[in-house]
Structure formats: structure tokens, C-alpha cells
Amino acid sequence: MAESGAEGAFQAATGDGPARGGPAREAEVRAAFAGLIQIRRLTGAAPAPWERGRMVWAVALALEAAGVPASAVDADGERTETGYRVRASDRPGAVRVEWTGPPGEGARLSADERLRECARVLAEAGWEALLYRGAGGRRFLEVEAGG
């Protein structure tokens, strides 16, 4: 799922957009995550129904807010950064988290460890994340809303 939306609207880094960072971005992420926590307080649910309807965005925000680096692509769609990538899963009610990066950068070698870190972060944020081995031995997480 590409990172797009209304001009100027906050977009969580899914790993399919440009590299992002710096103090201004960190402040945006903190504010967005604080808003998400407020929604959870009001609804009494974690993840909140609002998040369940926007799972790619919500899972990406949880990872970004925890300081996990997102992958990134340039204008030609080539990977420029190593990190998580969140996208829709083949299964309804789930999203997929991969650890990816530019060819030759070794993302696959660190995928198991980094995906376990992502699973821990997501569990703390109320998500259920299971680690799988897919085609060609590539590791990934399937993430769904907890209880």
C-alpha cells in the first residue's frame, strides 16, 4: 500500500514511500500516536475500531512511534532504506510486515531478529503478530487485532 493521502495530512511510514526523519517528523509521529492513544481511551479498546479499519496505517504508526526504522523507496520505486514494510495481507483482517531494503544491503540477514523486535513492539501496542517463513525462506509477520 503506497503512502498517499490528502496534501499535508499525516501519513504513517509504511515503508513504501520516501525516506522520512528529523525532529519535525518525530514531533508529527508523537502527536499522531498520542491521538491514537486518546481514541483507545475513549473507545476502551486496543486496537480501537478506528485502527481495525486502517490496519496498515495503524500498525505502521505503532512501529514508527517505537523508533523502528521504515524502509523507503525513491521516485522510481527502488528501495533506498532498510526497515519494516507494512502492507495488506492476503488474509482479511490482517496485515503483513516484512523487513526489506536495497539489494545487497543485507536486510534478509537481519530479518529474523528485526521482525522479532517488531512483533514485541506490536504486542505491547495491542496487536497479535506471528512470525512466518514464506516462499524462498523469507521471514514476515502476519499481524491482526488482539482479543
> pLDDT of 35-86, one tens digit each?
999 999 999 999 999 899 999 999 999 999 999 999 999 999 999 999 999 9
Per-residue pLDDT tens digits for 2-21: 444 444 688 999 999 999 98
Would you kindly state where each structural domain of the chain is located, as residue ranges? 23-145
Average pLDDT over residues 19-32: 94
**What pLDDT is attached to residue 65?**
97
DSSP E strands, the chain? 72-73, 79-81, 83-88, 94-100, 127-133, 139-145
**What pLDDT is attached to residue 2?**
40
> Cα–Cα distance between 97 and 115 in angstroms, integer?
8
Per-residue pLDDT tens digits for 74-127: 999 999 999 999 999 999 999 999 999 999 888 989 999 999 999 999 999 999
Q: Residue 147: pLDDT above 80?
A: no
**What pLDDT is attached to residue 4?**
42
131 versus 4: the higher-pLDDT residue is 131
Question: What are φ and ψ of residue 113, in 5° steps?
Answer: -65, -45
**What pLDDT is attached to residue 136?**
86
